[in-house]
Amino acid sequence: MKKILLLIFVARFAFAQNFKPVKDTVALRLKIEQVSKTVNTIESDFNQEKNLSMLSEKIVSKGHFVFKKENLLRWEYNSPYKYLIVINKDKIRIKDEKKTSKYDMNNNKVFKEINDIMISCVQGNIFKSGKFKVLYFENDKYYKLELWPLQKNMKESLKKINMYFDKNVTSVSKLDMIEPNDDSTTLEFINKKLNGTVADNIFSVR
């Protein structure tokens, strides 16, 4: 137990350490792109923390996700209650404890936007979308990419995304999504497994 607490403390301390601008941003960008190309599947647990700044209140959720190229994502919450999102190319299935809903992303702009952000955040290539101004920072343990939205409608609901990679840039370690009123959603990815075998049927939307 003490070891786990120490690990959490060390991880939080590392994320909080001062970041300085990256000198060779072109090389870093290239490295992320190259590594991203070699990653075909990602499986990870995640801890999600929603901070409602004005209420000084946190909503903590936990779950597991599986990603497989191209465009297959299973995003599953286990706590505080069960909730499942499956993205299979342009189809999305959402299952809560009572109901299953299916959507076609071609007919739903909001889901299309959510899908694009989720998939590209998990893959770590959201900065390639052209929808953000990207600033690159680093400390001893992490690279931090600050993504500032360029589109007016996105600016209304999102101030910026902080994306943290470990120094090997194999995959995203943590994400902060900060809203204009400074509310934020933080996702920390733990127990990551890259390029493991993942069956296609877990992404079924039927």
Partner 1 sequence: MARWLTIFFLLGSFLFVFTGCSHNKLKRAVTSQTAIVTAKELNPVISTSGASKYKAEIDIFTRHFTGIIVLKQTDSLTKHLVFVTELGMRMFDFIIRGDSIRAAYVFEPLNKPGLINNLTADFRDILLVSIFNNKADYKIIGKKNCLVLRDKGHTLALFRDERNFANEIIVYSGKNKHSKINYLADYTSIKFRQKGMVKLKIDLNKIKEEH
Judged by beta carbon, residue 4 or residue 199, the one nearer partner 1 is 4
Cis geometry, peptide bond prior to residue 80 (ω within 30 degrees of 0): yes
State the residues that interact with partner 1 by CB under 8 A: 48, 50, 52, 54-55, 57, 59-61, 77, 79-81, 83, 85, 96-99, 101, 109-110, 114, 118, 153, 156-157, 177, 179, 181, 183, 185
Give me the least distance between CB of 137 and partner 1, in Å please: 23
Query: Which residue in 195, 185, 130 sits closest to 163, CA to CA?
Result: 185
Give me the least distance between CB of 71 and partner 1, in Å please: 18
Q: For residue 127, what is the DSSP state?
A: G
Judged by beta carbon, residue 42 or residue 177, the one nearer partner 1 is 177
Give me the least distance between CB of 156 and partner 1, in Å please: 6
Q: 124 Cβ partners below 8 Å, 6+ apart?
A: 32, 36, 163, 165, 169, 171, 172
Judged by beta carbon, residue 14 or residue 52, the one nearer partner 1 is 52
